[in-house]
Amino acid sequence: MGLPPRFFRRLGFAMEPPRHRPQAWRRAVFVAFVCSCTTGGGGGGGGDTGTGTQGATVADTGIASDGGTGIGSATGSGSSGGTGSASGTGGRGDGPDWDAIKAQAVLEVALADVFAQPQRRPLATLGWEDGVFVSRDGLHLYAFYAPADVIQFATFFAQNPACPDVTPFLRGPDLGMDLTMNPWGCRNVLHSDIAHATRASVDEPFGPWQRSNIANPYRWDGAFQALDNGDGTQDVVVSVSTDQAANDLYWARGVDHDPPFSAFEPLPPPVNTPGQEDNPHLERLDAGTLVLLWDNDGVDDPMVEIQYAVSADDGQTWSAPAPLGPTINAGPTTMTGHLVREGADWWLYFASDRDGVLSVYRSRHEDSANIAVAFDAWGPAELVVTPGPAPAGAPGHVVGVGEPSLSDAGDLSVVVVYVADEGATEYDRFDADPWVLPRKP
């Protein structure tokens, strides 16, 4: 069993203009996935084919987040998997044994002196929970959320772009999402909203997911990230799909948690481009200096890499985007950069498949006192956590871990993606859940 080097490339389906589709599909996750999985027939379905065609960019498999313009469905009958238990087969009566797969999932912690054993967060469901962000105080958790196996649906959509039937792919709670409204005349569409969970204390688990106020019908919303302003407000950045089937970055300044989308506006040029910007991270380096990280992954980019821009006037203007150096962008995929300051040191956590499977790494800045004027001066990358081998006889295994996000307590939130090696169907083969690595005292 193994993964191709480009494991977590964006799932990009740019249907307008059609010439984009073949190149975008070559970038899809798991195109050359090598495993012994058996894919059988699926359940549910039916309905009219529909006539609409729509553009879509299904982002970040986790670990991979978040982009694109809706995916249509002209559904008739068939089971949607109910309102979502946290595990099981979603009520279809066939499919993977997700309880067993997740119970036997293995992550290997390379920094065992820093982080304790990983734990799957109890709020995890059968929905696709990706692009996870934990607030610095540890009381808010956000995620890209879609009530389906996003990878299997994207694979199907590539071959059936005209209002494909969403119903057989649905699983987990829909959180009240609008899966009907769309501009293509499809009966149903699949897209993502941002989910939000809270807790009163870091000593208790998060409550269940709720659909956040950042919810746009038929668009792919995700990659929520908030910079704490220290006065009870946040500067929030999200990734939102556009009519051109790419992602742009939007932000809202000085807002409370879970602001409405009406509070957001696009990041000014030169940050947003005709290409794709996703997985943002905004950080304050000093009183007047902000830095913004994001993933590029445009249609013609040879590799996924982390780019950055600096603002010396508190976000009024930004430097020209530039990629981080080869210490970080070792390729072929580097993504989801997350900055955190620990004492006098700045650290960059990120996901990379430089060793063949998507894992989380970190790097310490070599001149933290001068990071505002010499941002791209990162030391050697060290492995933090990576997928481990599944126990003998396990019905599935972990194929990637990414989306690092840290609280002030140092606890590391990540996203884990699994594949079912037994019981997989064309509708239900992969899942993504939020996990946490508690910081050791």
246-268 pLDDT per residue, tens: 789 999 999 999 999 999 999 98
Among candidates 310, 273, 283, which has minimal Cα distance to 225? Answer: 283
Q: Does the N-terminal peptide bond of residue 270 adopt cis geometry, omega within 30 degrees of 0?
A: yes
Does some domain include residue 5? no
In a domain, 3, yes or no: no
pLDDT tens digits, 320-369: 999 999 999 997 899 999 999 999 999 999 999 999 999 999 999 999 99
pLDDT (average), residues 196-204: 97
- pLDDT band for position 241 (cuts 50, 70, 90): confident
**Which CATH number do you get for residue 268?**
2.120.10
Report H helices in 132-240. Answer: 150-159
Q: What is the pLDDT of residue 298?
A: 59
Contact 306, 326 (CB under 8 A): no
Q: Residue 301 — very low, low, confident or very high, per pLDDT cuts 50/70/90?
A: low
180 belongs to a structural domain:
yes
Q: What digits encode the pLDDT tens for the residues 105-133?
A: 999 999 999 999 999 999 999 999 999 99
Residue 116 lies in a domain: yes
Question: Mean pLDDT over residues 5-24, rounded?
Answer: 28
- The per-residue pLDDT for 76 is 32
Residue with the larger pLDDT of the pair 194 and 47: 194
CB distance 254 to 232 below 8 Å: no
Assess whether pLDDT exceeds 50 at residue 40. Answer: no
pLDDT of residue 191: 93
Count of the separate structural domains present in the chain: 1
Q: What's phi and psi for 371, nearest 5 deg?
A: -60, -30
- Residue 91 confidence (pLDDT): 39
* pLDDT at residue 59, as a whole number: 32
Mean local confidence (pLDDT), 185-191: 94
Q: Which amino acid is at 335?
A: M
In a domain, 339, yes or no: yes
Is residue 47 within 8 A of residue 163, CB to CB? The reply is: no
Instruction: Tell me what pLDDT residue 23 has.
Output: 24
Average pLDDT, the chain: 81
Which band of pLDDT confidence, cut at 50, 70 and 90, is reported for residue 276? Answer: confident
| N-terminal to C-terminal alpha carbon distance within the chain | 36
In a domain, 237, yes or no: yes
Which contacts qualify for 376-379: CB closer than 8 Å, 24 or more apart?
A: 376/308, 376/322, 376/324, 376/325, 378/324, 378/325, 378/327, 378/328, 378/348, 379/327
Domain of 368? Answer: 11-437
Residue 208, token pair as written in the block = 């269940």
pLDDT-derived band of residue 300, with 50, 70 and 90 as boundaries?
Answer: low
- The backbone torsions φ and ψ at residue 156, rounded to the nearest 5 degrees and listed phi first, read -65, -40
- Whether the pLDDT of residue 64 is over 70: the answer is no
Decide if 28 is inside a domain: yes
Is residue 6, in this structure, part of any structural domain at all?
no
Query: Quick check: 103 and 401 in contact, CB under 8 A?
Result: no
Question: Would you say residue 9 has pLDDT above 80?
Answer: no
